[in-house]
Amino acid sequence: MITALDTNILLADKHHCDYSKKLLDAAVVKEQLIISEIVYGEFAARFPLVKELHDFLLDTGNRLVHSSENAFYVAGELWRESAGIKNKLCIVMNAGS
């Protein structure tokens, strides 16, 4: 099984830290743990060196997986539906300036 992690479980607050660690410890034994580009960026802010971040991800069994354009489009469609966004657009582009 593959489990995509959110920043909130990796950077749990003091009230949820022990529970998050327990869940992650159990999951890493039987599942592939992955993070998205967004989670990687949010998580990177906590590490002064990229090597430290990469070492952490390796040590904890987490892997960065890049999203496809289609995955982003589907996410946008779902967000549009849940937010009740209408398809009417007014896109203003100033080409060449």
Write down the domain spans for the chain: 2-70
Please write the tens of the pLDDT for every residue from 56-93.
Answer: 898 888 899 999 999 999 988 998 888 887 766 665 66
pLDDT, residue 21, reads 85
pLDDT at 97 over 60: no
User: How confident is the model at residue 89, as a pLDDT?
Assistant: 63
Considering only residues 47 and 31, tell me which one the structure prediction assigns the higher pLDDT: 47
> Please, what is the average pLDDT of the chain?
85
Rounded distance, CA 91 to CA 93, Å?
6
Q: Taking Cα atoms as reference points, which of 60, 3, 79, 11 lies closest to residue 36?
A: 3
Q: What is the pLDDT of residue 23?
A: 84
Instruction: Record the pTM.
Output: 0.68
In angstroms and rounded to an integer, the radius of gyration of the C-alpha atoms of the chain is: 18
Angle between helices 50-60 and 37-44 (to 10 degrees): 120
